[in-house]
Amino acid sequence: MAKEKKPKKEKSQLAENWTYLDKRECLNCGEPLPDQYSKKRTYCKEVRDENGNLIKDCKGIYNRLLDQPELEVHREIIKEHKTVDDMIEAMVAKKGDMVSTADLNAYDIQLSASLKYRLSPNGTLESDFLKYTIVSNPIHNTHKIYSHG
């Protein structure tokens, strides 16, 4: 006995039969989610145009908003490091690549503001910035500046 195949329903026909008894809503836009969607679904489905371009992505928008405060902190940190690099660049343009501690102080460059540093056994300090490395000699109070690229 052969099974009869049921005709496939189109999405538009299915949409007419959707129910909203569970009263679930999209976390981003608040639109009601049909009961027929998976219970794990908490966002609207992606909407794409005929060319495949994304028109509506509630899940992406919601997660970007959650990550925004953290990204703002990262932007501020990067901005501070770029400002220090700009100050070093201005100092190198005026004073050259061998400077004194007084020059660093005059340009308000704090070696402690580096991304990382290494202290060698002979007492020299290497401070790595985004674009520069400053090698400091504490005995002579001189600092050699190397560009990364």
* pLDDT, tens digit, 9 for 90 and up, residues 94-145: 999 999 999 999 999 999 889 999 999 988 999 999 999 999 998 899 999 9
Indicate if 41 and 96 belong to the same structural domain.
no
The domain tally of the chain equals 2
> The dihedral of CA 118, 124, 125, 128: what is its sign?
negative
Indicate if 52 and 91 belong to the same structural domain.
no
Res 64: pLDDT: 86
pTM comes to 0.57
Q: Is residue 72 part of a domain?
A: no
Q: Is residue 41 part of a domain?
A: yes
pLDDT digits (tens, 9 = 90+) for 40-80: 888 888 888 999 888 889 998 888 888 888 888 989 999 99
Boundaries of domain holding 101: 83-147
Q: Is residue 127 part of a domain?
A: yes
Res 133: pLDDT: 95
- Cβ(47)–Cβ(55) below 8 Å: yes
Indicate if 89 and 43 belong to the same structural domain.
no
Indicate if 88 and 141 belong to the same structural domain.
yes
Q: Is residue 14 part of a domain?
A: no
Whether pLDDT at 19 is above 90: no
Residue identified by tokens 């009263």 is 23
Indicate if 51 and 90 belong to the same structural domain.
no
Q: Is residue 9 part of a domain?
A: no
Q: Is residue 38 part of a domain?
A: yes
Res 119: pLDDT: 92
SS3 breakdown of the chain: % helix, strand, coil, rounded to 5?
Answer: 35, 20, 45
